[in-house]
Structure 1
Amino acid sequence: MKKCLVCGSELLKEPLLDFNNMPESAQNIPNEEEIKQDKGIRLKLYQCKGCGLVQFDCKPVDYYRDVIRSGGFSSTMVELRKSQYRHLIESYHLENKKFIEVGCGQGEFLSVLTEFPVDAYGVEHKHDLVEIARKRGLNVSEAFVENKNTVIENGPFDVFLSFNFLEHQPDPNGMLQGIYENLKEDGMGLITVPSLEYILEYNGYYELIRDHLVYYTFDTLQFVLEKNGFEVLEQEMVNRDTLSVIVRKKQKIDVSKIKESYDVVCKEINDYVDALKKQGKKVAIWGASHQGFTLAATAKLTKKIEYIIDSAPFKQGKYAPASHIPIISPADALLHSVDAIIIMAPGYTDEIAAIIKRDFGQGTEIAVMKAKNLQMYEDIKQ
């Protein structure tokens, strides 16, 4: 069963297009001798059932790791790159940052980048191209970003660049994960790929070639980028037929306040329970909820709490996960009275407090977990 190169879902059973006598590649151009063996091939274009990505179902060309550009030094492309670099650097304040072009060829676009106030690096797989780039004074290492274990020399980097390279890759996820791992936490990127929208708009079947295994739209490009840890900040069509997007590594959620809350809550609840225990008083929890279970376990209250009260019959007679504190009914709790009850049932606090006051007596102390603090119920109501 044919699988999507990005999401792994099945491809639609029938191909979108089925062409015969297509060129085997765009770069392995036969000479007079080789033309005798050269034959056209059959190419089938499919769409993924899951993410919608359009792709060929064939093996990649043998040089998919290499970046071979025939128009890299054209004035059109040079001016486009200058414009893109200028916008990226000025808009996101990337002066003096470290840039890496992934798949830099012989340094056509990397040499343009050196005109800007950044540290420019490149990585290229093809040895001959690396040598040419180095002779031009460019800082280029010989490697291919295969997967998340690939380590690029001189990293980590602040910004990556990838120009019309991702569409060649049989493992787009692997390349993007490799790039991700070689970027700093706030790393950014500029990436371009040929546009499927352009092909569809002009019905340009002649734009299809085996070299390009994948044909991205803005939506499917965003999908693969987000799948591999990036968020799209900007997107536009450039040079009529190319998708261009600016991305940033997804920011890690700041959980420092939650960790702080964990420390505070555990201390407060233990201080409260320990103080009561020293006075010879007994303490219970009301609420066999996930909140109650988590607090009892993480605060290590197993030997400090008499029981957990809960009105749900299916929970009664069982034990709280991890802490193993017994769960009993309100009626049973009346037979084994305690001096204080901590309510751990958000949304039902007032209802439970009213039951305690009515059935357990005014002398029963009531504490409540509210936000990240343990508070006395009477203080809350004032």
Structure 2
Amino acid sequence: MEKCMKKCISCNGSLHELMKIENMPASAQDIPHKGELYKDVGIEVVLCVCEDCNLVQLKNDAVHYYRDVIRAGGYSTTMEELRKSEYGHFIELASLKGKKIIEVGCGRGEFLGMLKGFPVEGYGTEHKKELVELAKSAGLRVDEDFPESEDHIFKDGPFDAFMSFNFLEHQPHPRTYLKAIYNNLVEGGYGLITVPSFEYILKQNSFYEIIPDHIAYYSFDSLTHLLNISGFEVIESKTVNRDTIEMIVKKRKLPDVGGIILRKTDIANEVLDTVKSYSKIAVWGASHQGFTLCSTTGIAKYVDCIIDSAPFKQGKFAPASHIGIISPDEARKRKLEAIIIVAPGYTNEIANIIKTTFDSDIDIYTLMTDKLKRL
């Protein structure tokens, strides 16, 4: 496969060329009149795949109207039945009764209007002014808007859930689009998203499904990867209407480090009080745990040395705290009053060395999980 200079629109990985299709219509929406035929020419479309996330995508640039939602079959009976079935399941699964849902890229509100009759508050955004006006004239709450950056703020947010129907495949910056949505959702917010299925194209060998309007061709795996790196976890995924991937996602919670922050202060105070109660104390363990403890708790000026059995560490100094690192033999000469063991996995072994080869009256401590324990 030939390597493409362009990077993956999902993960910025390297692209490799899969195939070319010549004389392709330049777009599916710019349909020429008779008087425009002289300037209408076909283009070459280059299909590539990302070697990192496996997303299949066009090397070509996105069409100029990728921000606009243009739907021809939005009012069909088949689509209405599908959407209403999806809405019912989505609202029940995500407990959205009485909650706010936004469709990001709603066109003239074809699908947004189908939310009427469901116990939710529906909102929408659309880039094309004419479509916004049509949606508003139908009594829908739609704003002229499109997220150009991750920190974009949608009016009337935050929202409890979002919807995106066959719009993501048009986006040349899909992570920006999804991260903007993520940042406008409440904690634990949900999403319902659909895209055309690349698995379907492969199964049918249907090259005619490839069009310049669709810059990305998502499989279940590549869509899941994109959603994951954009802050979402996939709750459900399936194929609908034969050729479409549907996923229900949930905004992934950020790790709660509040407990670590609180315990850090407690541990620092506990260790500092202990160290200050001795005139000569050492830390055993020239590892990242020992280095961090010595440099972040304020004990450096009270610690005589750091003991470690590894010869290549001896004679050097701990990063940040600058406490000297010495061997166990050297430590025995220093008449230490206490030693704090900071070497998870080796605590019992080190404690036995201290008890059998150091002065019998030496006090031994160990940092066990989140507390200092005297042995």
2:368 corresponds in structure 1 to 370
Distance (Å, rounded) in 1 between the aligned partners of 2:342 and 2:48: 54
2:356 to 346, 353, 358: 358
Per-residue deviation, 1:3 = 2.3
Letter in 2 for 1:311: S
Report if aligned partners of 1:45, 1:54 keep a CA contact under 8 Å in 2. Answer: yes
Of all paired residues, the percent bearing the same amino acid is: 53
2:307 corresponds in structure 1 to 309
Report if aligned partners of 2:94, 2:190 keep a CA contact under 8 Å in 1. Answer: no
Residues 322-360 of structure 1: CA deviation (Å, up to 9, x unaligned): 122211111111221111111111122222122212222
Per-residue deviation, 1:171 = 1.3
2:7 corresponds in structure 1 to 3
Residues 99-146 of structure 1: CA deviation (Å, up to 9, x unaligned): 110100000111111321111110000000000111111111101122
1:368 aligned counterpart, secondary structure: strand
1:88 corresponds in structure 2 to 90
Per-residue deviation, 1:158 = 1.4
Letter in 1 for 2:249: V
1:338 corresponds in structure 2 to 336
Letter in 2 for 1:3: K
- Residue ranges of structure 1 left out of the alignment (5+ in a row): 378-382
Distance (Å, rounded) in 2 between the aligned partners of 1:155 and 1:228: 19
2:30 corresponds in structure 1 to 28
Distance (Å, rounded) in 2 between the aligned partners of 1:217 and 1:354: 57
Per-residue deviation, 1:185 = 2.2
Distance (Å, rounded) in 2 between the aligned partners of 1:180 and 1:310: 47
Distance (Å, rounded) in 1 between the aligned partners of 2:257 and 2:126: 38
Tell which deviates more after alignment, 131-140 or 17-26: 17-26
TM-score normalised per structure 1: 0.94
Residues 162-206 of structure 1: CA deviation (Å, up to 9, x unaligned): 000011111112211211221222121111001111111112222
1:2 aligned counterpart, secondary structure: strand
1:20 aligned counterpart, secondary structure: strand
Letter in 1 for 2:327: S
1:120 corresponds in structure 2 to 122
Letter in 1 for 2:368: K
Provide the aligned length of Structure 1 versus Structure 2.
371
Letter in 1 for 2:333: L
Superposed, which structure 2 residues align to 1:1-382 within 5 Å?
Answer: 1-12=5-16, 15-274=17-276, 276-277=277-278, 281-377=279-375
Per-residue deviation, 1:302 = 1.3
Per-residue deviation, 1:375 = 0.9
Distance (Å, rounded) in 2 between the aligned partners of 1:5 and 1:92: 30
Residues 269-316 of structure 1: CA deviation (Å, up to 9, x unaligned): 122223x24xxx421111111111111111110111111111111111
Report if aligned partners of 1:343, 1:352 keep a CA contact under 8 Å in 2. Answer: yes
Distance (Å, rounded) in 1 between the aligned partners of 2:24 and 2:225: 29
Letter in 1 for 2:13: S
Distance (Å, rounded) in 2 between the aligned partners of 1:142 and 1:273: 63
Report if aligned partners of 1:285, 1:342 keep a CA contact under 8 Å in 2. Answer: yes
Q: CA RMSD in A?
A: 1.4
Tell which deviates more after alignment, 170-179 or 210-219: 170-179
Residues 235-279 of structure 1: CA deviation (Å, up to 9, x unaligned): 0101111000011122212222222321221121122223x24xx
1:380 corresponds in structure 2 to none
Distance (Å, rounded) in 2 between the aligned partners of 1:331 and 1:221: 59
Distance (Å, rounded) in 2 between the aligned partners of 1:358 and 1:20: 81
Distance (Å, rounded) in 2 between the aligned partners of 1:41 and 1:316: 68
TM-score normalised per structure 2: 0.95
- Residue ranges of structure 2 left out of the alignment (5+ in a row): none
Tell which deviates more after alignment, 3-12 or 159-168: 3-12
Greater fraction strand: 2
Letter in 1 for 2:358: F
- Which aligned runs of 4 or more in structure 1 are off by greater than 4 angstroms? none
1:266 aligned counterpart, secondary structure: helix
Report if aligned partners of 1:98, 1:119 keep a CA contact under 8 Å in 2. Answer: yes
Report if aligned partners of 1:147, 1:176 keep a CA contact under 8 Å in 2. Answer: no
Per-residue deviation, 1:376 = 1.1
Letter in 1 for 2:164: S
Per-residue deviation, 1:151 = 1.6
Letter in 2 for 1:7: C
Letter in 1 for 2:170: H
2:295 aligned counterpart, secondary structure: helix
Tell which deviates more after alignment, 101-110 or 313-322: 313-322
Distance (Å, rounded) in 2 between the aligned partners of 1:149 and 1:361: 62
